[in-house]
A and B are shown apart, each in its own frame.
Chain A
Amino acid sequence: MAPSPQLRPVPPPPIVPLGELGELFRAYSGDVATIAVRILGRDDEVDDVVQDVFLAALSGLTSMRTPESIKFWLGTIAVRKASYRLRRRRLRSYIGLSEPSCPELPAPGASPEEQALLQRVYKALDRMPVAERVAWILRNIEGEQLDGVAKLAGCSLATAKRRLLAAHKVLQRCFHER
């Protein structure tokens, strides 16, 4: 008698050996770059963040991980490194070391209206704390679930919700000001 479909064993997830930087990079560098560009809102620092992420990941390449866990793990590193870049950029701007120039937002498939809206949104995001900005981007641009936002941002679910609410209020205020 053939086994019923419900009893069929679930195949284990494929295991990826972590040891070859090249393989890891080819598989996940695009995802890391996407997270970085969304958090930073500009393309010129993405390469540096990707370098930072994979260099940091090299020291953690000691165990075998499933592809999903690798992607998530690299995502947390990317969020951390991009947040660091954001804070550094703000500090440099604050002490007058770099111009707060706003290069064109990389949104290749967006319509002109969406481009304009994105520019406004990112301008508003520049006015809020980095942690709130990161939470809002992960939720609304990256499309993560709430628990995913919390894990990627390295905070509790309650904190993630609080940050999202705060960011949303800032955005509303910015859009109502106009």
Chain B
Amino acid sequence: MNDDLDHKLSGLRGRVQTVWSATRAAQVLTAIEKRKLRRQQLRRRAAQGFIVVCLLLLTPLLFRRPAYESAPEPKPEVALRLPDGSVAMALSPDTELRHAESRPEQTVLRLLRGSARFHVQKNPRRVFRVEAGSTAVEVLGTQFTVTRLGEFTEVVVSQGRVRVLWDSHYAELAAGQRGTFPPPALVSSPPFPRRLPGVSR
């Protein structure tokens, strides 16, 4: 039975055929050429798309500002600390500040050069005085900055109120005001003006 089947099956060799005419072959060849062209177009578009995507991804990287780490702001250094808690902080490395006088009714500091900020504890019975060249700043309780600018002195008031004295003149600065002393244009002005044009808010 098996041999009979094998014999039958062996007779099938080469029997299945397709009619592969020249016309049919030409049609298939045309279809292949079309598919080839379509494939090339597809590849070109894919390449273009890839380039566009790469450009989109890379553009922000190319034009991004370099992220520099901002240098930490130098912390003001405490130049002087008084027994009542008042503090003077040096704002520049060349600041030179001296304790000139310390009495219950008056404290005098002398700024020889540089810049310093003062946090003064309120004490109505004591005069706190900072001398910077020919200018002196007197306060009762406030925060202010004194900067030596050659023969001039700049005073910036953060809190409270100060009195600035130079030669035989004086001016008062409130919080948020600043002034340069002696005011160059007002050297010949009458003594003790209540308000000076050189003072700005």
**Nearest Cβ distance between residue A120 and chain B, in whole angstroms?**
10
The answer to whether A105 and B16 touch across the interface, beta carbons within 8 angstroms, is yes
Chain A contacts to B: CB under 8 angstroms: 21-22, 25-26, 29-30, 33-34, 36-38, 41, 43, 46-47, 50-51, 54-55, 58, 105-110, 114, 117-118, 121, 140-143, 171-172, 175-176
Chain B contacts to A: CB under 8 angstroms: 1-2, 5, 8-20, 24-25, 27-29, 31-33, 35-36, 39
The answer to whether A37 and B35 touch across the interface, beta carbons within 8 angstroms, is no
- For the complex, give the distance between the alpha carbons of A76 and B150 in Å: 96
- For the complex, give the distance between the alpha carbons of A163 and B5 in Å: 18
By secondary structure, the B interface counts as: helix
The answer to whether A55 and B36 touch across the interface, beta carbons within 8 angstroms, is yes
The answer to whether A33 and B18 touch across the interface, beta carbons within 8 angstroms, is yes
The answer to whether A107 and B5 touch across the interface, beta carbons within 8 angstroms, is no
The answer to whether A106 and B20 touch across the interface, beta carbons within 8 angstroms, is no
- For the complex, give the distance between the alpha carbons of A109 and B14 in Å: 10
Of the A-B pairs whose beta carbons lie under 8 Å apart in the complex, a sample of 15, sorted by A's number, is A29-B20, A30-B25, A34-B18, A34-B20, A36-B18, A46-B18, A47-B24, A106-B16, A107-B17, A109-B15, A114-B15, A117-B9, A118-B16, A140-B13, A143-B13
Q: Determine the chain B residues whose CB is within 8 A of the CB of A36 once the complex forms.
A: 18
Beyond contacts A21-B36, A47-B31: 8 other A-B pairs, Cβ-Cβ < 8 A, are: A33-B18, A37-B17, A106-B18, A118-B12, A118-B15, A140-B12, A140-B13, A175-B5
